[in-house]
A and B are shown apart, each in its own frame.
Chain A
Amino acid sequence: MSVTAKPTVLGTGNVPQVNRFRRWRSRNRQAIEGWIILSPILLYYSIFFIFPVVANLLVSFTSWSGVYQPPTWVGLANYRIYLSHPYPLILFNTLLFSIIILVFQTTLAFFIAVLLNEKVAGRGIFRALFYLPTLTSAAITAQVFFAFVSPFDGIFNSVLKALGQPIVIWTISTFWMRTFIILYSIWRGLGGPIVLFLAALQGIHREVYEAAKVDGATWWNQMRYITVPLLRPMIIFVVVTSMIASFQIFESVLLISNGGPANTTNVMLLQIYNDAFVNSRLGLAAAGSIVTAVVLLGFSITNMRLMNRGQTD
């Protein structure tokens, strides 16, 4: 290892012949390097993150029928459209999906994690089986799932035919389409929460349970008075992130039901996509994205409140 004498890097400044520029440079090395690195990042960030957010807000106050047309200012008209049919229904559907998916997914994941935490043999294999659907492409698996519910020659109807039952036209049933989208979403999203809950459970010392068993606590009491309180921060985290994720449900609805029948499974992101890129109503779509962002911001703020309350308890 060769030690090369470079006193300027150390910033000692005790070499008499260094000129003023080099002394300035060595004294401000951190600021110079910092800004050299940050400048392109901040420039890119301003163009692709800050500018779009501002632009999107402005676009939401315009009527704009496509990229190659000029937009016209319409004030709050786009937001007023969000008060008329079918937009309230779409917002309702999105909330309905996110709440049902949230409740079932979190509860199931919690109990599966508790089971996996019981020092079971082959835990890795079970965990892998529960986690694998999460890795699949939502677009591809949702499109495959459509093969099952396809109205006449779908796989579910083939089963019904094989059993000698009358076929069901699934795609015209609000109940079935909602159920299928929810089941598909739970199947695909269960892995993440299981892994998270399992990590939190492994952080609880087994002695706590041993002590509780000595005191005669039942399994249910152990859950209620040890596991759930100790897992509280993780439960809040999983609930809020699942809520935020499932409010942005898109691929499964687009490819399984495409919002039908009659908008009863339509969701925010799908409607925004259709408004923007199918119906060429960019202003209306931008307004929809602002509505979505506001709802999600509400979830995030609730999250932070709950987290902070947990810490001060």
Chain B
Amino acid sequence: MEKRKAVEPGRIFIYALLILGSAVMAYPMLYAIIATFSDLETFFRRPWLPIPDSLYLENYTVLFTANFMKLAPVWRWVLNTLIRTAWYIIVPGTVAIFAGYVFARLKFWGRDAAFIYLLSSLMIPGIVFWIPTYVMMARFPGMGGNDWTGQGGHGLVNEFAGLMVPGLVNVFYIFMLRQTFYTIPADFEEAARVDGASTLRVLWEIYLPMLKPVLTVLVIFQFVAIWNDYQWPLIISSGNRDIWTMSLGIQRSLLATAQLKGYPSGTSIQDYPFAFTLAVIATAPLVILFLRLQNYFVEGVQGFALKG
């Protein structure tokens, strides 16, 4: 079998197609990375593949200039994104562990009704929540100048808290954790219960280590989703640059590359190599994470399909 494969001319064809296909996929990314080392003039001289004659690093050094930091507080956006990402991993993750345990392991009146109640929103697309959630944020009682009835101020619109309040319960993750609890035999828990362990201890000491694979998937998916989230930050935080997240901040910065790079005011030209630099630094963390954890990603995507 192996020998026949080695001589099959079809194999060459397969490799040719795969190399061609992945080259097309990789070209824009490679292009962007090469362009970051190119100045604007070289870039326009070789627009297909802007390989510079000599290494040009100003696109990176300009990120540390006072002018840039004043106009585009990137480090602040990174911090905002990291805080938001951690929050949206920890809270929905904890909720999913507890609720998944309740639905899979405890038996009591009303449990199944509660589960169906939770599942009822699973089919509803996110767009339905945009307007009511925005209004709820704007009328959030007692916050952002609002009185307790939610009148008088701007509420959580353009406040960092507005980015942190919706979507803390994720029904899909609850479902995913419940299914995982079903695959774990109850014997471990029963043995611990005989020893007098409380529910919290059972969850912490017995289940948490066993849930590691599914929690890894959850962490990776939330990380990607929140790191790249654009729609909700766009809706709720457009007016306050200091609370922007990476996606929104970098996207807006791409529109003003000339000012950010310190060209004389009134210059209308776009500095494309610098735009690519901003895009590359915003995308790099996820790419590095993926290359390190590729198998978890792949298993995660497949797990989503099989469980969902």
Contact = CB atoms under 8 A, between A and B. Distances in A.
Interface of A: 1, 3-6, 9-10, 28, 30-31, 33-35, 37-38, 41-42, 44-45, 47-53, 55-56, 59, 67-68, 112, 115-116, 118-120, 124-133, 135-141, 143-144, 147, 150, 153, 155, 158-159, 162, 187, 190, 192, 195-196, 199, 219, 234, 237, 241, 244, 248, 250-251, 255, 268-269, 272-273, 276-277, 282, 285-286, 289-290, 292-293, 296-297, 300
A175 B196 CA distance: 70
Given A56-B131, A272-B130, 8 more contacts: A4-B195, A28-B108, A37-B99, A115-B14, A130-B22, A141-B283, A162-B47, A195-B301
Nearest to A51: B132
B114 A42 contact: yes
Nearest to A162: B47
A38 B21 CA distance: 49
Contacts of B18: 112, 115-116, 120, 126
B106 A34 contact: yes
B196 A3 contact: yes
Contacts of B184: none
21 contacts: A1-B195, A5-B196, A33-B199, A37-B98, A37-B101, A38-B114, A41-B98, A52-B136, A55-B132, A67-B138, A115-B14, A127-B294, A135-B224, A137-B250, A139-B230, A140-B251, A141-B283, A159-B48, A273-B235, A289-B128, A300-B123
Give the 4 A-B CB pairs with smallest separation, nearest first.
Answer: A31-B108, A52-B132, A139-B230, A129-B22
A187 B29 CA distance: 11
Interface in B98-151: 98-99, 101-102, 106-111, 114, 117-118, 120-121, 123-136, 138-139
B282 A137 contact: yes
A139 B15 CA distance: 33
B222 interface: no
Interface in B25-74: 25-26, 28-29, 32, 44-45, 47-48
A196 to B, nearest CB: 5
A55 B305 CA distance: 32
Contacts of B248: 139
B247 interface: yes
Contacts of B106: 30-31, 33-34
A127 B282 contact: no
B152 to A, nearest CB: 10
B167 interface: yes
Which bucket holds chain B's interface residue count?
A: 35 or more
Contacts of B235: 273, 277
Nearest to B152: A68
Contacts of A269: 127
Contacts of A289: 125, 127-128, 130-131
A39 B283 CA distance: 39
Contact of A144 (B165, B171, B254): B254
B243 interface: no
Contacts of A28: 108
A140 B254 contact: yes
A276 B110 CA distance: 39
B274 to A, nearest CB: 11
B272 A155 contact: yes
Contacts of B246: 137
A50 to B, nearest CB: 7
B216 interface: no
A187 B169 CA distance: 31
A120 B25 contact: no
A132 B284 CA distance: 11
A34 B102 contact: yes
B196 A6 contact: yes
A59 B131 CA distance: 9
A50 B121 contact: yes
Contacts of A135: 224, 228, 283, 286-287, 290
